[in-house]
Structure 1
């Protein structure tokens, strides 16, 4: 293996895949980065055994020039070298020693792993994706749901986002059994109905790595793997096994009150008062009380710390204008951050019943649901 490459091209490429590479992985070869060099492209792969990124660098004869094809698994240190060098690099592999030359006399020599021992990724037919959607739409779908997934492995299925498609609608939903985020879109269609539960952390990582200005294709040929593609970057992740709970039964059809209120004003008030509320439960979010009667009053009373309240004027209210409900400040803060709307509808259906948050202006059908907290007063 022998080639020249612009250091910036190599650094940018390695940056796309290094997020899943752990230099302390219990499987030594997964501490490195797989590289295959051909006359047409350089293929880089990073993996932690459950998630993998694969990136293709085209050989253009200018920023990348190949003299000899080959394969190797490089140590992750090559990422730092590429980032710090702003010049043309010459990489050459002899046996298991990789030399990186730059400038007139400077050189690094790194030990590599045996390429044949690196786990092989499953093969997919990339000619026909199961579905394709706009990157910007994908970012919205993930933001509205992934935050609500569980971070506990007690019920592994709840650590994922349930992605289901019918002929005319795509629905994403995530819940940790205390809150729920759901969004529906008619922009994405498919020829065959499908349902997948994908780890929420994987989707969040994907959304932060992919260029959301490009289309995203999804390949679902395997029962336990799904592949996402954006340009020359591929992301492989497992599909969670098991049946996702039926969340449709949680969705109420009628409400006692619907309050239209400014999202940012409510969020800012919650953010200020949550510091006091969370002081009683080691910073986990705290319980606050919402009292609606002519205005929305958010309050907390902690015997060891003190008390406080914030008053937010609502725009309008339909239905009962005299109710109180207690809930986790963190859960409502997360929900308000997930939506993008100047105003939201706070939909109340009764004491100790889940309440709903929906944006007033969205091109999607969005629902954020939060379970209340029982309090003594």
Structure 2
């Protein structure tokens, strides 16, 4: 076992990462059932995701600045509490308006967490240890992506709202987060100097390319996969929520396979090449999904998508955390968090329009087009 895997700080970061993905992955299998129970048109069911991700567009940059200037924990702990309480409140919603309001509150808590877990890895680890930590964290992310849809699907068998009890597990995690051992703050710049230097980093060509790739990654994830993969499995193959969750969880096997070897792969291949390969895998998954003749045939494209995630996300995160020093890292990750949330928010709406205009084939053709755009951008400008 690598020494990093015995680090309690890293264990706590794993928990924060699982919290971030819980907000979507655990309810994804319940979306078709939720739509039927609450009378939501399938083309609009993505609003349940949009309400959760929308606050991050505004809050992520604010959270990043506060984390840099005031300290990580002063932002982290209130965010975790808000996530837990807002998420649990969704359990008691009995109409769409109330549910969206509770999801909006939960999203306020989720936005800083999405900025901070990669920031904390950048703070605590250097060089190849940072790459390894990102890889291990991607493996944990993939484990959560496997467990939460499966658990959420099983819980949804008892009711569409039962998966919303899962955020209560975040409350004990707050105790571990309060004990995180973090480097002392080195924020010595004036506020004006801080903003000017952060802006220079954020507008550098390398940063802009990485931000663009991150945005498109989450457009693809939250459009075709998170929102419309359950619709595909439900409408075409009449799959129960538990089966939808189980099949989607297979994507995590691909992510875990890649993430467990990321340290070795990064020693042999440049990150740019691994990222470009991931875009080929994304496109293959998008093209294959609507062509599958049976429910269990979906496992192949879903596994391919998971492998793409394992190659893409840890390498993008590692590159981004290397853009800035500690005193500006949270702000840079917050810019990325804002774009990430923008992708999460717009994707269900944009792909909902594709679904309304051309049904499921149009949705996955759009996903393949996004993959090709990502490949072209990486090949052109990522060095």
TM-score by length of 1: 0.22
TM-score by length of 2: 0.22
Higher strand share: 1
**Higher radius of gyration, 1 or 2:** 1
Higher relative CO (Cα under 8 Å, sequence separation at least 6) belongs to 2
